Amino acid sequence: MSLPLSSPKWLTNCAQILNSFICFIVFFIFDLLDAVFCVIYRILDKHIEGESSPCCCSKLEKQNKKLLNHEYDGESDSLYERKSIFREMGFLQFGRKQEDSNRKCGEIRPLNRWSDCGCESCLSWVNGGDYKLHFVVKEPVMEHCRGNYPSENVIFLHGFLCSSSFWTQTLFPCVSENVNNYYRLIAIDLLGFGKSPKPRDCSYTLKDHVEMIQKSVIQPLQLSSFHLVAHSMGCIVALSLAAKYPTCVKSITLVAPPYSSSESSDASLNAITKLAGKKLWPILSFGSAFMSWYEHLGRTLCLVYCRNHRIWEWILKFITRKRDLHFMTIDLTKHTHHSAWSSMHNVICGGAKFMDSYLEILTKARVRINVIQGDQDQVVPMECCRNIKLKAPNAEINVIPNADHSTVLFGREKEFSYSLEHTWESVDRSKLQ
């Protein structure tokens, strides 16, 4: 007769309790450290720049934005409502009221914070005055498709901590001859990433991202119709853009979309819990939680790695004995902490409030929606694509076996390209009928 203590269920319960306890201790320490670094950065910013940079540790900052008539529409509740033991205790209110009252409206600040990299490459977007997004265009080969009006346009949007290289270095070289001949491919660096502008006074909301795409790409290139392809965070921006131009968008392909339902009044908070919940494992989930919940610890990581990216790149080149690093390694530092932090919350989390309405608009407009996700994705839960299907019944769901958040494209570029071409051609043929 076996003892109850030896049952697998009992062992599983013990493991879960132990994991929960360790998780609580680790993130409790992070809560404490983030509160400490909040005070440290407040002092350093005041000493180096003459004023403390605003942060999201206090709801007073949101109230201050309203008093100063700053744009705060579209900002995510997750910025100021994230639960922290020390924030709820009022630990972070020390000296903040006096600082906020001394902050002057319209005061000119440096283009980038002292903790961001100020090298020529990172500030290349400053030249030229009028800020516009950087984008790469692969023009069609056929003579009759050249000029301002190629037969078809495709806009590609990258995900979090990436750039247009995500598409230009992988998919663009692998497209078929037909796509090369008749499609104009446009890969964009989203606002705050890659070679695009990273303004310090921007909130990086969905509205900001869409307006910059409109100003930098759609209007100058006179795009009257286009297909959309997006990965990860770019899917949220793509849905917002498509909902604004439902009659212009022929199809939208969402690769690993971080979709969260808009049904709850706490949609933004639900999104951060679902997509970046406080977990120790897998490591990608832990990294997402660390960078999403802890503003000042994340800034410290950016200070150590991103600000000194040239040193780290030299070290990696020395270790690997390679002259050129992988583009993903380079892209990882091509942002400021403010642009990444704000985009994470105001796009991925804040965008959750609008996702259902965007899908309803596209469904009514009969825009073809194609969703692709790997079944081993540890960043975006599989339930995201299933929930899109519930909200947009006509959406086509394609689950790629043994593929994760990156290998859904990497390593299978040809297959991915054929899938996209099939979607575009089938849509274009149906338009002609």
The region, left, alpha or beta by phi > 0 then psi within -120 to 50, assigned to residue 140 is beta
Task: Report DSSP state, residue 162.
Answer: -
Q: CA 210 to CA 362: how far, in whole Å?
A: 16
Instruction: Report phi then psi at 368, rounded to 5.
Output: -75, 125
Element (H, E) at 299: helix 295-304
In 3-state terms, what secondary structure has residue 146? coil
Residues designated as active site: 158, 232, 377, 405
The β-bridge partners of 254 are 230, 371
Q: CA 379 to CA 400: how far, in whole Å?
A: 15
**157-166 as b/e: b if 16+ CB within 10 A:** bbbbbbbbbb
Q: CA 156 to CA 232: how far, in whole Å?
A: 12
Parallel, antiparallel, or unpaired: how do β-strands 183-188 and 249-255 relate? unpaired
CA nearest neighbour of 111 among 211, 209, 197: 197
Q: CA 119 to CA 139: how far, in whole Å?
A: 32
Instruction: Report phi then psi at 369, rounded to 5.
Output: -115, 125
Instruction: Report phi then psi at 186, rounded to 5.
Output: -125, 110
